[in-house]
Amino acid sequence: MTNAQQDFYATMGVARGASQEDIKRAFRKLAMEYHPDRNKEAGAEDKFKEVAAAYEVLSDPEKRSSYDRFGLAGVNGNGQQGFNGFDGFGGFGDIFDAFFRGTASRRAGSQRGSDLRTALDLEFAQAIFGVEKELEFERTEGCSDCNGTGAMRGSRPQSCPECQGSGEIRRVQQSLFGQFVNVATCDRCHGEGLIVTDPCGACRGRGARRVTAKRMVKIPAGIDDGSQIRVSGEGDSGSRGGPAGNLYVLLRVQPHKQFERDENELIYELPINVAQAALGATVEVPTLEGDPVTLKIEPGTQHGHVFTIRDRGVPYLRGSGRGSLLVRTNVVTPTKLTGEQRELLERLADSLGTPANGEGDASLFGRIREAFG
């Protein structure tokens, strides 16, 4: 499309009442899409020229007003506003900088160190009640021999002669819009602006060394398997005086032989025999603290019944108090019987099937309790 036929609003894809911000946003999008350095398809360059011409007019309030009143005649000369193609792009600087200055970072100041990750194994009870453990890990620390400069003691890093200490190389290039400056990180000093001519022997000029560190880590009560805690400032040291990163510790909790965990509840499976389930009993239930608690089994307790012992579970990680210890009964059926036990169970089976009250012979239950006691 030639300028004589071009509808600038249609070219930009905006309405006639679009705000300057809408027009600028549309130009950014189209320029990124059709710029010849990015789009090698046929016609992309022509499309980009159309977009640029439209933006030059619509981004200028005076030119836009003239265009709205007189159309292209208002911006084509003829004693009116002048349109010079690509020669007058003064308003484009802020946009073109984003496209053409390059993506290389400038010389940075102090930089934060990298975060580190490690794992720590805990016993079941340690996770429940909390513990303080020594953690051993590797991290980068500033070299004490050169105080992090990388230069041998008594010498100093020198300003990079390639970039004159700026950490970046600027190159002027030509584009459709004229000259623009491309900024790239200096290859010689890698953006530092300084070079070490006499490197430190301890760190080989790096300014930092890999060391094995040992730290005491406090594990809060109630932590769960797979949780992660942060130890601030124990990651790799920063560069040029920057702060150290953090250390993240993944906690792996070992299973327990007797207890299971369900969030803040502990679950214990209590084995009882048929006589205890039928007649009731008083038993001792172990706890993680080590002191058993007394539990009364009611007569007629069924397999899988759950008793709740409050405040014997897992401490709440945030807040006070603890969950409960859930005691789930497991009525164990004997696999090997003595002669007396078999006889008593057979008599019990007959008794349960015949009495009018459906409760069997009380004296027989007593003998069964003694036999299986």
Tens digit of each residue's pLDDT (9 = 90 or more) over 27-38? 888 888 887 767
For 167-183, the pLDDT digits (tens) are 888 877 766 555 667 77
- Mean per-residue pLDDT of the chain: 79
Please report how many Cα atoms fall inside a 13 Å half-sphere around the Cα of residue 220, on the Cβ side. 15
pTM, rounded to two decimals: 0.55
DSSP reduced 3-state for 272: strand
pLDDT of residue 41: 82
Contact criterion met (CB below 8 Å) for 181 and 244: no
pLDDT band at 258 (very low <50, low <70, confident <90, very high): very high
Structure tokens at 134: 């020594």
pLDDT of residue 354: 53
pLDDT band at 160 (very low <50, low <70, confident <90, very high): confident
pLDDT of residue 128: 93
The CA–CA distances, whole Å, from 130 to 110, 126, 286 equal 37, 5, 20
Report the alpha-carbon distance of residue 275 to residue 304 in Å, rounded: 16
Q: Does domain 108-143+208-255 have CATH number 3.40.50.1980?
A: no
Residue span(s) of the chain under CATH 1.10.287.110 come to: 8-99
pLDDT of residue 124: 94
CATH superfamily label, 8-99: DnaJ domain (1.10.287.110)
Listed in sequence order, the residues at least 6 apart from 359 whose beta carbon sits closer than 8 Å to its beta carbon are: none
Cα R_g (the chain), whole angstroms: 40
- Residues of the chain with pLDDT > 70, as a percent, come to 79
- Residues 78-112 as b/e (b if ≥16 CB within 10 A, e otherwise) read eeebebeeeeebeebeebbeebbebeeeebeeeee
Structure tokens at 233: 């400032």
The CA–CA distances, whole Å, from 225 to 124, 143, 199, 262 equal 9, 36, 46, 11
DSSP reduced 3-state for 170: strand
Structure tokens at 47: 């499309």
Q: Does domain 259-372 have CATH number 3.40.50.300?
A: no
Length of the chain: 373
Report the alpha-carbon distance of residue 110 to residue 180 in Å, rounded: 29
Contact criterion met (CB below 8 Å) for 8 and 52: no
Report the alpha-carbon distance of residue 93 to residue 155 in Å, rounded: 44
Residue span(s) of the chain under CATH 2.60.260.20 come to: 108-143+208-255, 259-372
Q: Across residues 256-283, what is the average pLDDT?
A: 90
Q: Which amino acid is at 137?
A: F
